[in-house]
Amino acid sequence: MFRPGAAVQFGRLDRRRPGFGAACDAALALGFTPIIRVVGGLAAAHDGESVVFDEFLASGVESIQDRFEEHSTRLARALRAVNDDVRVGRIEGEYCPGDHSINVGGRVKVAGTAQRVIKGAALVSTVIVAGHGDRIRAVLEDVYAALGLDWEPSTAGDLGAPPAEVEDALRAEWSEATFVTGDDDDTLALAREVAADHRL
């Protein structure tokens, strides 16, 4: 669990679109670093008022759908501690659409989850936009326009809660988990080694 810098995470399919270069330029113009995400999905954005929550799991016979359902149910339960109108489900016109998106009141998407599965393990990765919804919306408008993707900007926003409260809620819900915050020397050294593989 960590608070990221300002970046637009592009999916691998985004990279094949004719407007991808212009989308990267649009992100940079607003102070967001373009990166390639290791999980699925379309472009999503975050900054220091967001929380990234990556769950690493041993992978057995359960399906991707099963993991999405379990994760989104727990995530919504956790986030209701900071906003009691949190719901699970796709909003028509949302960016990086998914049936297990987290929204507030069925109107504003505040978190999206994606997965990557390898033999024996799975990563379930969630970006929670705690604050700065207007800033996130602005960069997504320019990025999606460059990519030629239709969406409804009014569906992008934030949870309206301090990131620290979001982190506390996640720790309480996942009390059985071992949390790694990514600020130890070994993790930072590894991050520096692989960063070039993800920056554009």
pLDDT, tens only, 134-146? 999 999 999 999 9
Indicate whether 188 belongs to any domain. yes
Indicate whether 2 belongs to any domain. no
What CATH number corresponds to the domain at position 96? 3.30.930.10
What is the count of structural domains for the chain?
Answer: 1
Indicate whether 1 belongs to any domain. no
Given a contact cutoff of 8 angstroms between Cβ atoms, the answer to whether 96 and 42 are in contact is yes
Query: Domain range for residue 119?
Result: 7-197
Q: How far apart are the C-alpha atoms of 108 and 77, rounded to whole Å?
A: 17
Indicate whether 62 belongs to any domain. yes
Indicate whether 50 belongs to any domain. yes
Single pTM value for the model: 0.92
Question: CA neighbours within 13 Å on the CB side: how many for 200?
Answer: 23
Give pLDDT tens digits for 91-100.
999 999 999 9
